[in-house]
Structure 1
């Protein structure tokens, strides 16, 4: 093959991309990243600590080197900085649970050709329903996804020094924003509006962070439950807009505007794409998940959020990076 001809290596890696999910999910299942973090450095050591076969440990370590989550130096393996930060059990931003969750979703990708043809999820493909039996696994697993955005909010809004503020988190899931923000500000209080099965999980998880005395829940569907009037200093709408239609987002943003006190801020976190849809890479990829799982959702552009928020009555709108998400703050 001459130098000016393309090589198939990159295409082969992409075609076999499901192995990335498999390798990371299996390694997370057996806490391989945690064992590497704690000093295991060979296949034999990992196998002994994880109680798996040495052959299996070696294959996982080879795979982790291949996908760039482990390095081999002087005959010993160790985590890359990314693996150390985001895949070690027990760390605040650990995505290990999320990796295990995605391993269970691999089968759904086989529906994609038909989903692309019809333009939406197949029968039974939607997951955003109150009685989804998988919330107990999903809600804690996806909590870490919002940790970077929650910390961006702390800094951008000066939450630590804001005094006695009231927070409304709509569709708050695990309560991760409340957990982080109430820790940052001992005078703050938070209310989460979500379905009852999810709120029960949130109450438990927020209690584990030691701030349950300032956290309350309202059971309901945010489409129909009143947010109140001029009641909150900050409102949160995290990773919900992508599942809603443009019309629904404008309607919800308008109700948020009414629920906020004068000068109050709405915080939206989501996977936002550039106006020309040229990037970023992960939000572009996530659009396919919305095609699989929602009837009207998508990954919306910066200009979409700006236009919707203006129509809802907001005037000061800013965008803040929290890769792979974007935090939108509107006043």
Structure 2
């Protein structure tokens, strides 16, 4: 007998914006942090967060529904994912990102028009050097790169690599440099990014105690010289999705020239399968690029392989760093 279809799944997706709202509001009031500290009832949590009991109960109901918070005999606690990724102060905390996304929800209203046009149009993209939103965006997105940075460090054997030089193109928060320099006390890293972004990175790297081996080049990577045979490692993390095919091939070619013989390029991004059937996060992230860039997207493994080969790389491997993929090219 066939199972009768119900609209439950579709209704949950249509109302999916509630997940962003609930998680963003909970992060704004530090609910995950208070839960982690032992505020395990509605009344205790309301007092700790300085919010109403009605509001607290509503957020907890939503978080239980989303599977982020667990309820046992009237007591609430963070689930494993909330404990790992939503408690403030932890290196991998995405709490600030949750609040950022809550504020960006209204921007989705233009998606039907952007879909029709095929992009946001001239002047609509936010990727410009002097945009004041970097002060909030750059620190908020740093934590999502922590797992991939750690995986890459292990894959490359950075701890035992000795005196190496690193070029991080479009390095943003500097989180890769911070983690890699912590792993290897003999390494040095140079970040190329816009001056306002580099200033933010400098603060993060200083907080991690490795600022003495971190330098910045202020500029646009499209036009700034990378040098020739100057670096042992080069990093191109979450930049490729902002570029089209020609832009990525051009960048990969210049990065190949910037590497010393035997050097490696690390690319990190949301990579989709060849038939575009998955992974889910990489597929849905394409809409972010449609909204915010006129040439970006989420690219397939085959496209990355072809672009890197065209740029002169011969040994190209792919490694899981969910939801991202790491590509190591030599």
Which category describes the TM-score, using the shorter chain as reference length? over 0.9
SS in 2 for 1:105: helix
Matching residue of 2:84: 85
Matching residue of 2:142: 143
Write the distance in 1 (CA, Å) between the matches of 2:151 and 2:161: 15
Matching residue of 1:44: 43
Matching residue of 1:66: 65
Write the distance in 2 (CA, Å) between the matches of 1:240 and 1:312: 16
Structure 1: tracts of 5 or more residues without a match: none
Matching residue of 1:299: 298
Aligned ranges for residues 226-241 of structure 1 at < 5 Å?
226-241=225-240
Matching residue of 2:278: 279
Aligned ranges for residues 180-329 of structure 1 at < 5 Å?
180-329=179-328
CA contact (8 A) 1:122 1:292 kept: no
Write the distance in 2 (CA, Å) between the matches of 1:121 and 1:208: 37
Matching residue of 1:131: 130
TM-superposed CA distance for 1:133, in Å, is 1.1
Write the distance in 1 (CA, Å) between the matches of 2:204 and 2:247: 29
TM-superposed CA distance for 1:212, in Å, is 0.3
* TM-score of the superposed pair, with normalisation by structure 1: 0.98
Matching residue of 1:12: 11
SS in 1 for 2:38: coil
Q: Which runs of 4+ in 1 moved over 3 A?
A: 122-125
Write the distance in 2 (CA, Å) between the matches of 1:126 and 1:88: 31
TM-superposed CA distance for 1:140, in Å, is 0.2
CA contact (8 A) 2:121 2:294 kept: no
CA contact (8 A) 2:87 2:93 kept: yes
Matching residue of 1:165: 164
SS in 1 for 2:46: helix
SS in 2 for 1:222: coil
Structure 2: tracts of 5 or more residues without a match: none
SS in 2 for 1:10: helix
Q: What's the Cα RMSD here?
A: 1.0
In the TM superposition, what whole-angstrom CA distance separates every residue of 1:197-243 from its partner, at most 9, and x where no partner exists?
Answer: 00011111110000000000000000000000000000000000001
TM-superposed CA distance for 1:3, in Å, is 5.7
TM-superposed CA distance for 1:4, in Å, is 2.8
TM-superposed CA distance for 1:122, in Å, is 4.7
TM-superposed CA distance for 1:5, in Å, is 2.4
Matching residue of 1:107: 106
Write the distance in 1 (CA, Å) between the matches of 2:217 and 2:184: 22
Structure 2 residue 33 is the aligned partner of structure 1 residue 34:
yes
Write the distance in 2 (CA, Å) between the matches of 1:302 and 1:178: 25
TM-superposed CA distance for 1:106, in Å, is 0.1
TM-superposed CA distance for 1:123, in Å, is 5.9
Write the distance in 2 (CA, Å) between the matches of 1:194 and 1:95: 23
Question: Aligned pairs, how many?
Answer: 330
CA contact (8 A) 2:192 2:216 kept: yes
Write the distance in 1 (CA, Å) between the matches of 2:52 and 2:267: 45
CA contact (8 A) 2:167 2:234 kept: yes
In the TM superposition, what whole-angstrom CA distance separates every residue of 1:284-308 from its partner, at most 9, and x where no partner exists?
Answer: 0000000000000000000000000
TM-superposed CA distance for 1:125, in Å, is 3.3
Write the distance in 2 (CA, Å) between the matches of 1:312 and 1:100: 39
In the TM superposition, what whole-angstrom CA distance separates every residue of 1:37-86 from its partner, at most 9, and x where no partner exists?
Answer: 11111111111101111111110000000111001011101111011000
Write the distance in 1 (CA, Å) between the matches of 2:77 and 2:83: 9
